[in-house]
């Protein structure tokens, strides 16, 4: 979970960068293997980008799970704040340096293509996640404007 102010700033900068590059990002996307990417994005051609944010060297050094993301991304990046000692970042993934205003790809990720069935599963999960979040956000907006509004739970409607 993205929890520190610095990590939130990096997530915002990564999202802004990905939008500029033509991708549509969402935060904290759970993959079919149960792992959760800090930022996931889909490109105009259906390509999937995964980003793992690291703001502390100890967190990076203790993270052995990042290879489990690779089977679900065409491109995988680590993202760090500008003052992070990037010489400790693993060599294979790409690298993004970001702050709250934006980011830059300082090392391109190696492209690895997802197989068709996995791409479909990840794409459908991504679309459903984004749609459900939008729906919940619209409910929150409605509640903020009309505090007495009753919004039925989706489970109650079935």
Q: What confidence score (pLDDT) does residue 1 get?
A: 61
d(CA 134, CA 132): 5
**Prediction pTM value:** 0.88
Q: What confidence score (pLDDT) does residue 158 get?
A: 47
- Cα-flanking dihedrals φ and ψ of residue 130, to 5°? -65, -45
Where are any strands of DSSP class E within the chain? 24-30, 36-42, 48-53, 75-80, 94-99, 102-107
Q: What confidence score (pLDDT) does residue 105 get?
A: 98
d(CA 124, CA 92): 27
Q: What confidence score (pLDDT) does residue 148 get?
A: 84
Q: Which bin fits 22, alpha (ψ -120 to 50), beta or left (φ > 0)?
A: left
Residue 19 near residue 11 (C-beta atoms within 8 A): no
d(CA 9, CA 118): 31
The whole-chain average pLDDT of the chain stands at 92
Dihedral over alpha carbons 125, 129, 131, 135 (to 10 degrees)? 150
Q: What confidence score (pLDDT) does residue 143 get?
A: 85
Q: How far is CA 17 from CA 70, 84, 142, in A?
A: 21, 18, 30
Place of tokens 């990590």: 7
- Counting as low any pLDDT under 50, the low residues of the chain are 158
Report the Cα 128 to chain-centroid distance in Å. Answer: 15
């Amino acid at each position: 979970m993205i929890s520190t102010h610095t990590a939130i700033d990096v997530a915002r900068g990564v999202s802004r960068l990905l939008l500029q590059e033509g991708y549509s990002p969402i935060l904290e996307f759970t993959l079919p293997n149960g792992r959760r990417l800090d930022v996931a994005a889909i490109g105009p051609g259906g390509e999937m980008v995964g980003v793992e944010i690291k703001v502390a060297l100890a967190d990076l050094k203790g993270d052995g799970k990042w290879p489990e993301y690779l089977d679900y991304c065409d491109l995988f990046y680590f993202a760090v704040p500008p003052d992070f000692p990037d010489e400790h970042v693993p060599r294979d993934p790409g690298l993004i340096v970001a702050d709250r205003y934006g980011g830059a790809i300082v090392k391109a990720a190696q492209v690895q293509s997802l197989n068709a069935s996995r791409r479909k599963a990840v794409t459908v999960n991504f679309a459903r996640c984004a749609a459900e979040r939008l729906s919940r956000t619209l409910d929150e907006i409605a509640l903020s404007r009309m505090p007495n509004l009753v919004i039925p739970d989706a489970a109650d409607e079935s």
